[in-house]
Amino acid sequence: MHKFEELINLQRGWFRKSIYDFPEQLSFEKTRGHWLEDAFEDFVYDYERYFNSKDVCVQNVKSRPELQAIMLFRISRSLFLAESSYCDAFSLLGRFLSGIELYYSASIGKGLKINHGIGTVVGARVIIGSNCLIHQGVTFGDKDGYRPLIGDNVTVYAGAKIIGNVSVGDNAVIGANSVVLKDVPINCTAAGVPARILT
């Protein structure tokens, strides 16, 4: 059995058919090939942030809407990069199931963890590094056509907004309900409206 077959079956239950069954204009190699496996390989790192194991248990995925959102983002992102029109369907399903919007044109590194997550939005073309922790009600969004760039190991607490042409450095912490409109350097904590550097 393919090592991701159980997750494929979970997805089949949501759509009443498998990702592999969609009548997509992709080659057989692309449809059955590396792009989908890469999505699930990335998801394994996300899953490990929740359960400290790379042995994915489907029941755990079913019990955590945050993981469902992340898994469907990984699939929709891979479909987007493969130029499949089905990327939108998986992205919308993730939002419907979880209340979290992770837009498929955003780039999110491995090891994403979302706590609670309701109302969190990662908008189009946002870039987020690896091993980031995001809480509920957080928005990464557009201002004047620009999107934020978030480094690795960043923590963003509940209700924060990071908007526009903003860079948040590695290991930074963004306080709850902050509005970040200017760059945050590496290893710094920022909070407030508008956010200012505290440490």
Distances (CA, A) of 188 to 139, 155, 156, 175: 19, 11, 12, 11
**Residue 87 lies in domain:** 1-98
- As a whole number, mean pLDDT of residues 47-55 equals 92
Residue 181 has pLDDT above 80, yes or no: yes
Same domain flag for 6 and 86: yes
Residue 73 has pLDDT above 90, yes or no: yes
Residue of higher predicted confidence among 169 and 8: 169
Residue 9 has pLDDT above 90, yes or no: no
**Residue 36: per-residue pLDDT:** 74
In this prediction, what percent of the chain has a pLDDT beyond 90?
Answer: 64
Nearest Cα to 133, choosing from 40, 49, 196, 71? 49
Residue of higher predicted confidence among 97 and 168: 168
Same domain flag for 128 and 169: yes
Same domain flag for 91 and 116: no
Q: Domain total for the chain?
A: 2
What distance in Å separates the CA atoms of residue 159 and residue 177, rounded to the nearest whole number?
Answer: 4
Same domain flag for 131 and 195: yes
Q: What is the mean pLDDT of the chain?
A: 87
Same domain flag for 82 and 114: no
Residue 26 has pLDDT above 50, yes or no: no
pTM of the model: 0.86
Residue of higher predicted confidence among 156 and 18: 156
pLDDT range class, residue 133, cuts 50, 70, 90 = very high
Query: CATH no. for residue 114?
Result: 2.160.10.10
- As a whole number, mean pLDDT of residues 108-119 equals 96
